[in-house]
Every structure is written in structure tokens, then in C-alpha cells.
Structure 1
Amino acid sequence: MRSPFYSISLVLAQFGCLGVIVLSGPLIPTSLLPLCLLVAGLALGLWALFTMRLRRLSVFPDPLPHTELISSGPYRLVRHPMYTSLLLATLGWILALPVWWRWGLWFGLLIVLITKLTYEEQLLQSRFADYQTYQQRTWRLFPWIW
């Protein structure tokens, strides 16, 4: 078991990358592909929020005491649709202003989210007896890719 500092560090890194990406470019992309990625990311995030309900939402990877294993909605295909939605939306923002350091932030965000979901999955495996079965029938972030 890791310290709470580990979870806090992951969340701070995630929001740091996200904040700089959002604040350093146009909020609404003007070209079609970036706009579609942003809208798809936001739609997936809203669908995941609707499925999970706000009372179950936590930005930290540590499961809340009242956490239940959700396997409906986007969770029937992807175990971490909220992370997928962040990656899609931020990719849209990056493509709207594709400078090298913003790409670096996006890859940094990707690394942070992969680290965070790996840690979260370790905690969920110890929390839910059927989590491994759930893992075997779902994708981590992107259906048919990973």
C-alpha cells in the first residue's frame, strides 16, 4: 500500500498538465478534427459521470468506502472511460495548437494517467473479488487497442 502522498502527487500532476493544456490554447478549436475529439471526449466523460453518479466520483485513485464495481454504460467496454475522455479532449486541444511543448504535456498526462490507472487497478483487485473477471472482458482505455 502506498502513502496518500502518492495519490495526491498523481492528481496534482494530472491537473497540472490538464490546466496548462487548457489555458495555453484556444478553448474551442476552430478546425473539425480537434473539435470532434474535444466533443467526443466531453460526451464520453459525461456518459461515464451519468453512469457512475456524482456520489461515487473521486479524482483520487483510492476507492471510496462506498465504491461499487460499475460495469454498465461505457464501463462495459472500457475500465477507465473518464481517463479516456480526458485524453481525447486534451488531444483535441493539442491539435488546435500543436506546438512541441504542448505535445510534451499531453504525453506527460498520458504517463500520469497510465500510472494512476495501474495503481487504481491494484487497489480495485484487492477490493473486488470479481475485478479480474471484469478486466478480462474490458479494455483499459481504448476499445480494441488497449
Structure 2
Amino acid sequence: MKRALAFGLVSAQFVLLAALAILPHGYLWPVSAAVLAAVIALGALGALLAVLGVAGLGPALTASPIPREHAPLVTTGIYGLVRSPIYTGLMTGGLGLALFGRSVWHIAAWLALVLLLAGKARWEERMLLAEHPDYAGYGARVGRFLPRVGRLRRSA
């Protein structure tokens, strides 16, 4: 059941990213140099965050939100700034695609992606808390998607 849910979440994530790339363009705002610059900057930043996140995980890397057994807890590099840099990168790049798409459908797909990744991150963190005793302290220090934002509360 857990693996089926993981597969479903990963599949939905890729469907939403594909939708952001292929939905017909709208006309909610004009294409300007500022919009194009924002699209390029968000796309580049999103790609950089995702690549740094993938590279930083090393042997702990898995496509599934289910952590690998006996994999080390990574808390250095980009993971010293945010706990979920790959998800942050996907959200950031997705925002660039939504700005470029300029339609209500793009905005809806991006919001769905953000909600899906937020839920996926929370589920993944519950498993990481069970697997790594040090995760609670790490989560209390480091933000989920942005530095210092979304830190875990320490239990009393």
C-alpha cells in the first residue's frame, strides 16, 4: 500500500509538471522582458536547486518518497539550508512555467503541484523521523522549502 501511494504521488507530480509544459498558453498578462527574465531566472534557479538536491543525497537518493533503509541522513550542503531542495526546485521551476503559460490552468496546475509536494514532503518527513532519531533536531533548525521557514516544532 505504501509503495503504491508513493508511485501515485510521483506519477501525479510528473503529470502536473508535464501539464505546466504543454497546456495551451493564455493571456492573463502580457509577455514582457520582465516576465521572460523572471521565467528564465525561476527556471534556472529551480533546476539548480533540484540538481544540488539530487547530487547532495548520494546513496540516499531514491525516486520514491519512501527513504532508503540504512541510508545516511543528509544535513549538509544544500540540505543545510532547506530540507527538501528537490521539491523547492520543482516548485520554483513550475512557477516559471506557470508565468510563461499565463493561463488560469497553469496557475491551477502549479498550485496543485505545490499542494502535492507539500503533502508528499510531510509524509516523507514522518518516515524520516521514524528512521533517523536526529531528524527532529535537524527539522527544528532547517526550513522545509525555504531557509528558516517551516521548521519542525520541538516536542516538549
Same fold (TM over 0.5): yes
TM-score relative to the length of structure 1:
0.89
Q: CA deviation at 1:77?
A: 1.3
* Secondary structure, counterpart of 2:102 in structure 1: coil
Q: Which residue of 2 aligns with 1:134?
A: 138
TM-score relative to the length of structure 2:
0.83
Q: 2:69 aligns with which of 57, 65, 68?
A: 65
* Structure 1 residues 33 and 77: alpha-carbon distance in aligned structure 2, compared to 1, 3 A threshold: same
Of 126-135 and 7-16, more deviation after overlay is shown by 7-16
Distance 1:97 1:104 in 2: 11
Task: Write out aligned runs for 1:3-14 (5 A).
Answer: 3-14=2-13
Task: Write out aligned runs for 1:1-146 (5 A).
Answer: 3-24=2-23, 31-53=36-58, 55-146=59-150
Rg larger for: 2
What is the root-mean-square deviation in Å for CA atoms of aligned residues? 1.7
Please list every run of 5 or more consecutive structure 1 residues that lacks an aligned counterpart in the other structure: none
Please list every run of 5 or more consecutive structure 2 residues that lacks an aligned counterpart in the other structure: 26-32, 151-156
Amino acid aligned to 1:48: G
Q: CA deviation at 1:13?
A: 1.1
Of 121-130 and 39-48, more deviation after overlay is shown by 39-48
Identity %: 28
Q: Which residue of 1 aligns with 2:154?
A: none
Distance 1:25 1:4 in 2: 33
* Secondary structure, counterpart of 1:61 in structure 2: coil
Q: CA deviation at 1:25?
A: 6.4
Count residues in correspondence: 141
The higher-RCO structure (CA 8 Å, 6+ apart) is: 1
